Every structure is written in C-alpha cells, then in structure tokens.
Amino acid sequence: MSGRAAESGSTRPFALFEWLLAARYLRARRREGFISVIAGFSFLGIMLGVATLIVVMSVMNGFRKELLDKIVGVNGHMFIQPIDSPLTDFDAVSKRLADLSGVKLVVPMVEGQALVSSTAASGGALVRGVREADIASIPFIADTIRQGTLRDFDEKGGVAIGRRMAEYLGLRVGDSLTIVSPRGAATAFGTAPRIKAYPIVAVFEIGMSEFDNTFVYMPLGEAQAYFNRDGDVSVIEVFLHNADDVGAMRPRIEEAAGRPIMITDWRQRNRTFFGALEVERNVMFLILTLIVLVAALNIVSGLIMLVKDKSEDIAILRTMGATRGSVMRVFLITGASIGIVGTLAGFLLGLTLAWNVEAIRSFLSQLTSSNLFPAELYFLSRLPAEIDPGEVTTVVLMAIVLSLVATLYPSWRAARLDPVEALRYG
C-alpha cells in the first residue's frame, strides 16, 4: 500500500495491535539491552522521585503540625498585656473573655525568668504561675504527666517541671527544686536575689524539647509572691477553638476586656519560625521535582534511541497501512507506560514510607547506633508525618503530566519518519 493510501486509511485509536506493539518494545531483546537499561533507570527515577516527594512533604507537614499544635497548645493563641496599669482586675477580665463565643480557655498568668538548680546541675528556666483549674485544662500539660499528680496543685505549693529538666537536674517527684531570681527584696545595699526551694509535685513530658527543658509551673499565688506581683498578673493567655480565628477575634477581645490592653497572637510571635519552615518546604518541593524531571528526560532519550533502532519496523508498518497516528500512539503508550507505572509505584512506596517513617527512623538509629533525629536540634522527640491528600494528588498528577509530555517529541518524530528513506538507509 502506498504512503497516500496509508494516510487515507483509518485506524481505531489505541487499537489492540498498538498496545501489543508497545508492550513488545518495552520487552527489549538482548541487542537492545542499552535501551532497556535507560527505560529501567527512567522507571526507577520517577518511582524514587515521587516517593521522595511524598515522604519529604509528609514529614514537613507533620513537623509543622506538631510544632504548631504544641506551641499554641501550651502558649495559647492570643496574649493580653496591660498598657497603663497592672492587671489587678484579671479575674473580671478573664471572666468577660471566657464568655465570648469562640474562646476555649482563658489563663491569667505570672511569668518570669529564673535560675533553677539542684545538687547536680543548674540552668535557666521560664517560671509560670497558674491556677490549678487552668493548668488542669491545658491538655499538653495535664494529659502528659509522667510522675506525680496535679491534684491539689494550689494547696501543695509545689512545682511541675518538664521531663528533660528533671533528668538534667537529677530530680524526681518529692525532691526540692531551688529557684533563684535576681529581682528579690529591696535592701539598703540594693536588690538581693531571691532564693527559694519548692517540692516537685509533677513531671510532664510535652514532647517538645524546648518546653520540657525550660518550663516550670507553680501555683499563681506562689508566683505572685515570688516575683513581687502585688495581686496582679503579667499576661492573660487566650485559647481559641480555632487558631486561625485570631484576626476576627481581636476586636471582640479588645471590646470585652474593658480596659487598655496590648494584644499579640501566635502568628506574630512565631512569624519568623513558621515563615522559615514554609520557605524550606517550598524549596524542597522544587529541588525534589528535579528528580522527576530528570527521570522524564531519560524517557525522552530512551524513546529517541528506540525510534532510531526501530526505524525499519516503523517503515514496514507504514507500508502495511498503519497511519502516522498509530505509530505515534505506539510510542506514546511505550513512554507513558514507564512514567505512569513508575508514578504509581512511587505513590505506593511513598505512602508506605510516610506511614512508617518513625519506625524506620528508630530502626536506622539502632542499626547505626546513632541518634538520627536529636530532639535538642529538631525540638520534637519523634519524627512526625502528616499525609496531605491534596499534595499527594498534585505530586502524582505532576509526575504523570511530565511523563506524558516527555513522550510527545519522540512519538512525533517516529510518526514523521519517511518509510522510503527508512528502508533505503536502514
């Protein structure tokens, strides 16, 4: 059949023979081993690229979620401080704020820095004075008690400290913690440091090393006496039902406070930290996308070599009546199969690794006898992962699109091959 007759003939798109021929080209013979190797590397590249993207994005999502939950779960969402007069009316202000819809918890607090010490060691700490009912309402404290209890916290007059601080100082429940503040009583010779020992009534473990190694909670009355707060508090923390509602709640809280106040929220206090996490997350996505792109380019090179090797086959198919569309679809199926199967394999591998990332970290740490995720550096005591279905879908679609685009030029080149020239010089 002539070339013109072949062009005028009709072939059903994606007919069975096109799929069979594409499958045959994927199973390269021994003399085509190099092409098969390139196809194999393309498959592995796309699979590993997709899997790495899913795992890294899931870990960074989990890292951000864990940090956000712990930071705002312990520190609150909004912080109210007085402007022109001390917060001696904190009870009335707290009650008005607690009555607002959208407000979950209001915690008046005395906060101050101090030196904590034992017979074994000493270090800096952030001392917080809170009421028993308030500390019992903060899940990240009340639900993470590892030793002791918060029952009768006000009456016992003791303190609750983090597990890392207890280990560093060599203390446990029942031992005494010495707290030293440079702002003590005023004397004729100047301000004398205040030194007082408190019994440890509870040890908590939030799971964030910075908090477990820094925070000391004591009854509000004790903190007011220790830091010379004459019946007032230094800050009122407001916990909302939704952390993202801080902007909408600001004017309502200012009105309900009924006095001049300064309001800051968790976004202002942690803008730099979470901004850096977002930048790092976006950069990692771009860098890891290059792995998929390189694998897609391998598909291009592999298909071009396959077209060159199969030029005689293409010419024979064209003279037998195969249209240019049929030839193009054969090579589209060949290249797309590598990309789609590699993407699906990477999808399954990525989800498996993301779901078991903490177990894998523990296994590798034991295998190498090293700490692969030090809490002192990453703030968290475990490696978190949060799989975002939207992001996973984006990664999979991006890999499939890149794979399909990579097959267009080699397939078009195969379809444009002149049968006469191919047979003459083949």
- Asked if 172 and 166 touch (Cβ cutoff 8 Å), the reply is yes
User: Which residues have a Cβ under 8 Å from the Cβ of 409 and sit 6 or more positions away?
Assistant: 300, 304
pLDDT for residue 198 is more than 90? yes
Residue 119 near residue 210, CB atoms below 8 Å = no
Outline where 320-388 has alpha helix (H): 324-355, 357-368, 375-378
In the chain, the largest separation of any two C-alpha atoms, in whole Å, equals 115
Percent of the chain with pLDDT over 70: 86
Phi, psi (5° rounding) for residue 104?
A: -95, -45
Please state which of the ranges 14-18, 116-120, 387-391 shows the lowest mean pLDDT.
Answer: 14-18
Q: What is the CA radius of gyration of the chain?
A: 33
CB 306 within 8 A of CB 415: no
Confidence of residue 319 (pLDDT cuts 50, 70, 90): confident
pLDDT score, position 7: 44
Average pLDDT over every residue of 92-110 = 91
| Per-residue model confidence as pLDDT tens digits over 230-275 | 888 999 999 998 888 888 899 999 998 888 889 998 888 877 777 7
| pLDDT tens, position by position, 365-424 | 777 777 666 655 555 667 788 888 988 998 899 888 888 888 888 888 777 776 666 566
**Domain residues of the chain, as ranges?**
16-68+274-425, 85-259
Q: How far apart are CA 168 and CA 116, in angstroms?
A: 11
What pLDDT does 125 receive? 92
Q: What is the mean pLDDT of residues 29-37?
A: 58
Query: Could you tell me the pTM of the whole model?
Result: 0.68
Tokens of 302: 């592999």
Please check the confidence at residue 314 and state whether its pLDDT lies above 80: no
pLDDT value, residue 301: 79
For residues 247 and 253, give the distance between their C-alpha atoms in angstroms, rounded to a whole number. 10
| Greater model confidence, 210 or 94 | 94
Tokens of 240: 């909302």
- Does residue 129 contact residue 109 with C-beta atoms inside 8 Å? yes
Percentage, residues of the chain above pLDDT 90: 20
pLDDT value at position 411? 82
Residue with tokens 């864990």: 66
- With H, G, I as helix, E, B as strand and everything else as coil, classify residue 187: strand
DSSP structure class, residue 76: -
Cα–Cα distance measured from residue 161 to residue 144, given in angstroms and rounded to the nearest whole number? 11
pLDDT at 352: 92
For residue 426, pLDDT beyond 50: yes
For residues 301-311, average pLDDT:
75
Task: Please tell me the predicted confidence (pLDDT) of residue 291.
Answer: 81
Tell me what the pLDDT averaged over the chain comes to.
82
pLDDT bracket for residue 217 (50, 70, 90): very high
Q: Render pLDDT for 321-362 as a digit per residue (tens, 0 to 9).
A: 777 777 788 888 888 888 888 899 999 999 999 898 888 888
Which residue in this structure is represented by tokens 């796309």? 46
Report the C-alpha gap between 125 and 214 in whole angstroms.
5
Closest to 118 (Cα-Cα) out of 170, 58, 57: 170
